[in-house]
Structure 1
Amino acid sequence: MDSSHLLCTTIDFALAGLFAAWFLISVAAQLRDDVQARMPALSGAGLIPRWAFFAPRPATHDTHLMYRDRDSFGTIGPLVPVTSPESRRWFHAVWNPNKFHTKVVDDLMAAMAVQKRDIEHHDFAGQSLMLTVPYIALLHIVMHARRPETSVARQFVIINDQPFSPDRHPEVGFVSKFHAFSRVDEPCT
């Protein structure tokens, strides 16, 4: 056996051992919550995945992103949902291209709720929430929704709803300030 073949075999075994260890750590991270905490460098780099297909505490509420417009006379229009609920079709279990957009909006609303709690916890100014990425991204989404020609400003609202609760009462989770459109004379299409 020559030395180059021995080196290749050693590297193959080392890589196989590395990937086997990585696989076992990844499996352990799915079964125990403390595995990622014990290896912060690997967890922080995203090398140890944590999938939660079945959450230990499933979501009990729905969150809806809505907006309303204000015209030049100061009249405020009704709340309009950004995404309208669509009826589920049998093939949505496998292929649902609209899921990406709704997932992005849901993730942004969840991230903004976390940012809001952090800002309140650290006693930062209330307006500092407007400088966060989730706020700016949600604002971008609502400002690019179709608008009437008479609208001069738009506000977004996050509504929390418990659809399966016997005492169902939707709650307002967040209300933004009104943001002016860049050009009043040119409606979005």
Structure 2
Amino acid sequence: MLADRIKGAVASCAVGALAAHLIATVLQNTPDSYNQDLRKFTGGWPIPGWRFFAPNPGVQNVHLLVRETTGDGPTPWRDVTPVVPHGWTQVLYNPQSRGPKALFDAMQQLSVMSANQADFAWVTRSLPYDLVLAASRAAATDDAQALQFLLMNVFPSAPAEHRMKPILTSEWIPLGTAAPRTAGAVG
């Protein structure tokens, strides 16, 4: 009998603590958040601060375009942005998203550098640039002698004349048997 009361009390406390935590989480993550007031009541218990897309929601997609030089001259630009499959199982487990996510993050970082007028020489020595360059090299055709990549912001909801905005265009990068340059290399 006493054991049942103890189990009931423990279960009630656990349900109450979970409910309080969920309510505090919702309050903290609402616009004009109440988190300043909640911090003094949490007693050191961390409340998640999910901001998802705030304060700057994503309104554009970044695309990686590549063109090469062959014996016939420069080829047209082609989009080599990885396509990530979206299905109901990817909500639970999607290991194929890691590579494209890393590339997307690198392209976003290059967008930030470009928006902040970073020096091109500094940008070309950055790790995000190296990652995008490696993805571009992987997409190059076998007969390519050199390649150039272009990062393009695409604003799907913008009017047609303002839908695309170039972010960064690389110089022509010779292709061959030489090993790719790594960040921090002098040359």
Please say if residues 69 and 153 of structure 1, whose CA atoms lie closer than 8 Å, have aligned partners that are also in contact. Answer: yes
Q: Alpha-carbon deviation of 1:104? A: 0.7
Q: Tell me the TM-score normalized by structure 1.
A: 0.60
Please say if residues 115 and 132 of structure 1, whose CA atoms lie closer than 8 Å, have aligned partners that are also in contact. Answer: no
Alignment RMSD, CA only? Answer: 3.3
Counterpart AA for 2:154: D
Name the structure 1 match of 2:100. 102
Q: 2:146 aligns with which of 139, 153, 164?
A: 153
- Structure 1 residue 162 and structure 2 residue 155: aligned? yes
Counterpart AA for 1:69: E
Name the structure 1 match of 2:54. 55
Name the structure 1 match of 2:167. 173
Task: Give structure 1 stretches of 5+ with no counterpart.
Answer: 1-26, 36-48, 185-189
Task: Give structure 2 stretches of 5+ with no counterpart.
Answer: 1-24, 37-47, 179-187
Q: 1:156 to 1:117 in 2, by over 3 A?
A: same
Please say if residues 157 and 172 of structure 1, whose CA atoms lie closer than 8 Å, have aligned partners that are also in contact. Answer: yes
Q: Alpha-carbon deviation of 1:161? A: 0.6
SS in 2 for 1:151: coil
SS in 2 for 1:158: strand
Name the structure 1 match of 2:87. 89
CA distance in 1, matches of 2:92, 2:111: 30
Name the structure 1 match of 2:68. 69
- Percent identity over paired residues: 23
Number of aligned residue pairs? 142
Q: Alpha-carbon deviation of 1:149? A: 3.1
Name the structure 1 match of 2:133. 139
Name the structure 2 match of 1:38. none
